[in-house]
Amino acid sequence: MTSLAVARNRLPIGRLLLVVLFIALVVAGFASGALPADRWEPFLLVSTWTFLFEGLVVTLLIGAISLVASLLIGIPLGIARSALKGPPSWIVRGWVELVRATPILAILIIIFLGLSRLGLDLTAIQAAIVGLTLYNSAVLAEVVRAGIRSISQGEVEAARSLGLGFGLTMRLVVLPQALSRMAPAIVSQLITLIKDTSLLFILGGQELVGYGRSFFNFYGNLLETYIVIAVIFFAICYPLSRAARRLEAKQPADERIVVTGEADQIATATSIR
């Protein structure tokens, strides 16, 4: 364990070196002309930041609405998935697996174009919320199912033998414990969700990336704008990722929930050792 312990103690110095490195990169960028100073000037204006802030608000709103809606749909779906047997269970499972096996961008575009063919009127933002909710409710259903399954059968049987019906068992025994186990997975999915709001830009919606692109049209500094947008996303997602890991650190390893095919969740689960 010695080499690893030493490695961990040296990290704070490493962070200082990182800051120095970053500053050096920025200065080099200015000096070499690759990221000319004048193209960064628009970012010194307050109006720039209020403009980008509008886009950020849209992004966060879409994320929040989609998360709440996904939870409202995903939790009952997950409970249904674990409670049902036979053909109804297969239908739910089939639906969840198919949705999760589809790229989120494909879902967004298909909903945007497809619903309009069926006669439903949706703006890009509304279609995005529907699509993100559809996808993430399926993922959260799996998280809930895994969470419920992770509660030992012994407790469930004990609750039943005390006379508690299915609903009460769920509400008083299983779900409270399962929810705390699911917390890191849910926070990780929120990170994915916020990153996925950037895909709205492809639908023509105006969220942070869309605002950034129109900002570029005006000032002609595309690379710099992308860097700023990336940093804004980072400022939101990194704290969430730290929170997810802290939540996970509180759990014993065999209680961790990871859902197949979701990268951000694997990241949380494996970064702790």
Residues 90 to 119 in contact with another protein, rule: CB under 8 A: 97-98, 101-106, 109-110, 112-114, 116-117, 119
Residues 6+ away with beta carbon under 8 Å from 107: 99, 131, 134, 135
Tell me which residues in 138-177 interact with another protein (CB under 8 A). Answer: 146
Tokens of 194: 């916020």
Tell me which residues in 14-43 interact with another protein (CB under 8 A). Answer: 14-15, 17-18, 21, 34
3 sits near another protein (criterion: CB under 8 A): yes
Looking up tokens 């019906």, which residue turns up? 165
Give whichever of 102 and 164 is closer to another protein, judged by the CB atom. Answer: 102
The distance of closest approach from Cβ of residue 167 to another protein in the complex, given in angstroms and rounded to an integer, is 26
Tokens of 207: 């969220």
Q: Among candidates 229, 192, 186, which has minimal Cα distance to 207?
A: 229
Tell me which residues in 114-143 interact with another protein (CB under 8 A). Answer: 114, 116-117, 119, 121
Tokens of 63: 């994320």
44 sits near another protein (criterion: CB under 8 A): no
Of 85-93, 154-162, 177-185, 206-214, the window that binds another protein (rule: CB under 8 A) is: 206-214
Asked if 147 contacts 257 with a C-beta cutoff of 8 angstroms, the reply is: yes
**Contact pick of 11, 46, 50, 86 for another protein (by CB under 8 A):** 11
**Contact pick of 84, 164, 237, 243 for another protein (by CB under 8 A):** 237
- C-alpha distances in angstroms, 103 versus 47, 106, 143, 262? 36, 5, 18, 11
Nearest-angstrom CA–CA distance, 251 and 265: 15
